Amino acid sequence: MATLAFIGLGSMGLGMAENLLKAGHTLTVYNRTAAKAAPLQALGATVAPTPAAAARGAEGVFTMVTDDAALTELTTGPDGLLAGLAPGAVHVSCSTVAPATTTRLAAAHAAHGSQLVAAPAFGKPDAAAAAKLWLGLAGPAETRARAKPWLEPLGQGTHEFGDDPAMASVVKLCGNFLLGAAIEAMAEAYTLAEKSGVGRQPLHDFLVGTLFNCPVYHNYGRMIASRHYLPVGAPPPVIRKDFRLVLDHAQQLAAPMPLAQLVHNRMSTTVARHENDVDWTAFARRVSEDAGLEA
């Protein structure tokens, strides 16, 4: 068992940290809203006052935070984890951030004498709590080997993408793009069916039982077919940020992504309407509205 720290106890991080505790690891936690750490403290975690204090003495430090700015501040700020992390220790970054951010933080770790691996997670909060996440992992081979056993209690499997930590961030952006594309495609198909006189639910039942029998179509498709966009997995503002990262990275590489732009626009409309208490699949409403159907 390892001495670990976990920084960021939001809807995803809380379940992940709890599973590390259940696996028998010694865990110190930090969250900007300290009250969120109470359930973990009751399970035996130590609560630290700063990221630096959380990292002090840890073999590995996990981070799971909302965006690039938060991750950068929690890593390299005055009380950031680098201020407490011992040389040779490992930072396991699970957040969805730009590949360039991952590269900058990896360089900061190299200068400090520590190491960074990126291990972004695919799955909703209920999957995090149930240890059903899928994780992509990238970073120096020796460091990946150290971190991989720590990831085992968190999910169904870990897939490796080489020595450059930024590649795992690329994989996360690609995966999120595909999820958004699938939601747009299902929304359009179910809307076409409805306008033609075929029920949304019968079409969904047929498709997920035959051609599209996979979790994404089952779970997101059920929300779209029923127009019931709960429970919230990822709130629209967070996914809008993720698609901005996709578009920024694509622009740097001169890779046109018109469908990503469409999904980003859908998310922007959702956020502008203050629909922040529903799952991000709720942007499927825009497709029904565009077709003249009551959402």
Do 147 and 194 lie in one domain? The reply is: no
- Comparing C-alpha atoms, which of 25, 53, 29 is closest to residue 39? 29
Residues noted as catalytic: 172
Do 268 and 185 lie in one domain? The reply is: yes
Cis bond before residue 236 (omega within 30° of 0): no
Q: Tokens representing 114?
A: 């520590």
Residue 295 lies in a domain: no
**109-136 exposure pattern, b = at least 16 Cβ within 10 A, e = fewer:** beebebbbbbbbbbbbbebbbebbbbbb
pLDDT in the model for residue 276: 87
Tell me how many domains the chain contains.
2
Residue where a domain stops, chosen among 130, 164, 198: 164
- Comparing C-alpha atoms, which of 193, 253, 260, 261 is closest to residue 221? 193
Residue corresponding to tokens 């700063």: 50
pLDDT in the model for residue 285: 94
- Comparing C-alpha atoms, which of 220, 237, 134, 144 is closest to residue 185? 220
Do 286 and 247 lie in one domain? The reply is: yes
Q: At what angle do helices 215-226 and 200-209 cross, to 10 degrees?
A: 170
pLDDT in the model for residue 295: 55
Do 152 and 189 lie in one domain? The reply is: no
Cα–Cα distance between 98 and 173 in angstroms, integer? 8
Which pLDDT tens digits describe the chain residue by residue (295 residues)?
999 999 999 999 999 999 999 999 999 999 999 899 999 999 999 999 999 999 999 999 999 999 999 999 999 999 999 999 999 999 999 999 999 999 999 999 999 999 999 999 999 999 999 999 999 999 999 999 999 999 999 999 999 999 999 999 999 999 999 999 999 999 999 999 999 999 999 999 999 999 999 999 999 999 999 999 999 888 899 999 999 999 999 999 999 999 999 999 999 999 999 998 999 999 999 999 999 997 5
Do 70 and 211 lie in one domain? The reply is: no
Range of the domain at 261: 170-290
Residue where a domain stops, chosen among 145, 164, 183: 164
Helices (H), the chain: 13-22, 38-42, 51-55, 68-76, 99-112, 125-129, 141-151, 166-196, 200-209, 215-226, 236-252, 258-272, 284-290
Measured between alpha carbons, how far is residue 168 from residues 103, 177, 233 in Å?
11, 14, 21
pLDDT in the model for residue 221: 97
Cα–Cα distance between 164 and 258 in angstroms, integer? 28
Do 14 and 118 lie in one domain? The reply is: yes
Q: What contacts 119, CB < 8 A, 6 or more positions away?
A: 92, 93, 94, 135, 136, 137, 147, 151, 158, 168
List the strands of the sheet with 155-160, edge to edge. Answer: 121-122, 133-137, 155-160
pLDDT in the model for residue 234: 85
Do 141 and 204 lie in one domain? The reply is: no
Measured between alpha carbons, how far is residue 198 from residues 104, 118, 283 in Å?
51, 45, 21
pLDDT in the model for residue 130: 97
We report the CATH number of the domain holding residue 131 as 3.40.50.720
We report the CATH number of the domain holding residue 270 as 1.10.1040.10
Which helix or strand (DSSP H or E) is residue 135 part of?
strand 133-137
User: Phi, psi at residue 115, to the nearest 5°?
Assistant: -135, 150
Strand partners, 118: 93, 138
Residue where a domain stops, chosen among 118, 140, 164: 164
Q: How far apart are the first and last CA of the chain?
A: 51
Residue 175 lies in a domain: yes
Do 117 and 212 lie in one domain? The reply is: no
Do 201 and 280 lie in one domain? The reply is: yes
